[in-house]
């Protein structure tokens, strides 16, 4: 697998090789009932809050002009959970190996995870994630009995995630200051963005 920064627009790849578009790709749920298993290397999540504005795209909420331009006002919070996406076993189940990825968690699913785990550490826990609705990327969690705390695979994955943690923020939206956003909204977009990240399909899957 080749990292995106090593791939400059075009280049030769071997059959089966893929190009990583992000250092920590997002897990996308394509079908209702789809199941993924992940292990959690850190307690830290990235909380994000963004608007979707036609002709501009997704922008992080900074208060003020972005909220004025969105009929919803202040958008809901979502959470980015960095994980080790566990490899699947043939016939079902999971292996204790995998790759660094992240899960975009709606606030309702995050609350459900906190409720079943409690306020204690989630490091090392293996989570079963089931897609309730693929169109809206609605998910639910189940905590498995396995604990991968201290395993070399999870420790290595966790170190990689921390080295690339800053790459998570620009994956989901762009951050503008008030002046930049005012200029964009004045020339590029019309008021009336209606995208709700809690209930509407995500216009940007990457």
Segment of 51-60, 65-74, 85-94, 139-148 carrying the highest mean pLDDT: 139-148
Across 145-150, average pLDDT = 94
- For 108-132, how does the pLDDT look when each residue is reduced to its tens digit (9 = 90+)? 999 999 999 998 999 999 999 999 9
Following CA atoms 192, 198, 201, 206 in sequence, which dihedral angle do they give, to the nearest 10 degrees?
100
- Find out whether 37 and 127 touch, Cβ atoms under 8 Å: yes
Domain ranges of the chain: 23-187
Helix (H/G/I), strand (E/B), else coil: 109: helix
Which pLDDT score is estimated for 203? 45
CA 33 from chain centre, in angstroms, equals: 19
Please give the distance of CA 24 from its chain centroid, rounded to a whole number.
9
- Tell whether the model's pLDDT for residue 35 goes beyond 70: yes
**Around Cβ 206, how many Cβ atoms within 10 Å?**
10
Lowest mean pLDDT among 19-23, 112-116, 201-205: 201-205
160: nearest Cα among 50, 89, 84: 84
pLDDT in tens, 178-188: 889 888 887 44
CB atoms within 10 A of CB 57: 17
DSSP state of 32: T
Question: What pLDDT does residue 192 have?
Answer: 44
* Res 4: pLDDT: 47
| Tens-digit pLDDT profile for residues 40-74 | 999 999 999 999 888 888 999 998 888 888 877 88
Q: Is the pLDDT of residue 147 over 60?
A: yes
pLDDT at 81 over 80: yes
Q: Are 76 and 49 in contact, with CB atoms under 8 Å apart?
A: yes
What percent of the chain stands above pLDDT 90? 62
Nearest 10 degrees: CA dihedral of 182, 184, 188, 192? -50
Proportion of the chain above pLDDT 70, given as a percent:
83
């Amino acid at each position: 697998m080749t990292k995106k920064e090593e791939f400059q627009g075009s280049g030769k790849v071997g059959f089966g090789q893929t190009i990583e578009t992000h250092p920590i790709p997002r897990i996308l749920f394509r079908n209702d009932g789809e199941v993924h298993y992940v292990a959690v290397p850190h307690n830290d999540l990235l909380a994000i809050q963004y608007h979707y504005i036609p002709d501009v795209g997704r922008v992080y909420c900074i208060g003020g002009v972005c909220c004025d331009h969105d009929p919803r006002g202040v958008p809901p919070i979502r959470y980015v959970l960095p994980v080790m996406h566990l490899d699947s076993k043939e016939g079902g189940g999971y292996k204790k190996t995998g790759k660094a990825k992240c899960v975009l968690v709606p606030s309702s699913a995050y609350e459900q995870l906190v409720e079943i785990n409690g306020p204690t550490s989630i490091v090392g826990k293996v989570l079963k994630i089931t897609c309730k609705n693929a169109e809206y990327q609605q998910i639910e969690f189940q905590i498995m009995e396995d604990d991968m705390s201290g395993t070399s695979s999870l420790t290595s994955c966790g170190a990689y995630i921390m080295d690339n943690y800053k790459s998570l923020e620009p994956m989901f939206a762009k951050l503008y200051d008030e002046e930049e956003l005012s200029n964009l909204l004045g020339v590029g977009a019309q008021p009336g963005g209606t995208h709700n990240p809690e209930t509407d399909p995500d216009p940007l899957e990457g």
